[in-house]
């Protein structure tokens, strides 16, 4: 004899388990990129909030993020000005069907040509990131660039992008004896 109550209970449990599991492991990075893309067309101000002595010059400057551009749904471009210096651009691009988020730092010299130390960064994965915080360990390309340019201290860099939608975006660089943090106020457009 079939126990319908037991069958219904098993069906409810199976449905609940299916609803809780996500077949799309890329959801966290895709959601993070969606948060970043909500900034498109906007500009925000920020400041250095870490206390490392080496960052004193940056702490004196207003940081300007933007105007943020989104060439497509997978790419977010965040120009960064430190006071009047507009030589930096951060680019984040979804890869591998949303399983990874590539983060690159581009730098130019005063004449507009590429700085020898440019294009460096790392790749966040669904294993080390969430929908509001991406972790970018330095990649092999960046290590080679740093070594070639005498920046051995940067060989262990890890970057973090954290976003509280509608409130704040935080950029962090961390390595031994180094902790740089900049926060951008998303509540007020510039």
* Secondary structure element (H or E) that encloses residue 183, with its range: strand 178-185
pLDDT for residue 27: 80
Fold (topology level) of 25-185: Lipocalin (2.40.128)
pLDDT for residue 32: 96
In the block, tokens 């973090």 appear at: 160
Do residues 90 and 163 lie in contact, with contact meaning Cβ atoms separated by under 8 Å?
A: no
Average pLDDT over residues 77-94: 97
Q: For 127, which DSSP code?
A: T
User: Residues 129-154: pLDDT tens digits?
Assistant: 999 999 999 999 999 999 999 999 99
pLDDT of 23 higher than 90? no
Q: What predicted TM-score, i.e. pTM, was given to this entire model?
A: 0.84
pLDDT of 107 higher than 50? yes
Give the torsion sign (CA, 179, 42, 86, 102): positive
Q: Please, where are the H alpha helices in 41-157? A: 56-59, 140-148
% of the chain exceeding 70 in pLDDT: 86
Lowest mean pLDDT among 4-8, 113-117, 121-125: 4-8
Average pLDDT over residues 172-190: 96
Q: How far apart are CA 94 and CA 98, in angstroms?
A: 5
Instruction: Please report the DSSP string for 17-43 in residue order.
Output: HHHHS-S-TTHHHHHHHHHHHTTTT--
Average pLDDT over residues 161-186: 97
């Amino acid at each position: 004899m079939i126990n319908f109550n037991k069958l219904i209970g098993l069906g409810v449990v199976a449905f609940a388990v299916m609803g809780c599991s996500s077949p799309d492991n890329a959801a966290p990075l895709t959601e993070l990129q969606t948060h970043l893309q909500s900034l498109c067309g906007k500009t925000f101000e920020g400041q250095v909030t870490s206390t490392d002595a080496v960052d004193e010059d940056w702490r004196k400057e207003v940081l300007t993020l933007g105007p943020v551009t989104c060439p497509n749904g997978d790419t977010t471009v965040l120009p960064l000005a430190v006071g009047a210096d507009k030589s930096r651009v951060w680019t984040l691009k979804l890869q591998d069907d949303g399983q990874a988020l590539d983060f690159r730092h581009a730098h130019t010299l005063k004449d507009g040509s590429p700085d020898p130390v440019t294009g460096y960064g790392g790749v966040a994965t669904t294993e080390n990131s969430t929908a509001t915080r991406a972790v970018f360990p330095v990649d092999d390309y960046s290590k080679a660039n740093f070594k070639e340019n005498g920046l051995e201290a940067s060989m262990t860099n890890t970057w973090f992008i954290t976003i509280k939608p509608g409130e704040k975006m935080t950029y962090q660089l961390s390595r031994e004896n180094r902790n740089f943090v900049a926060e951008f106020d998303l509540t007020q457009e510039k």
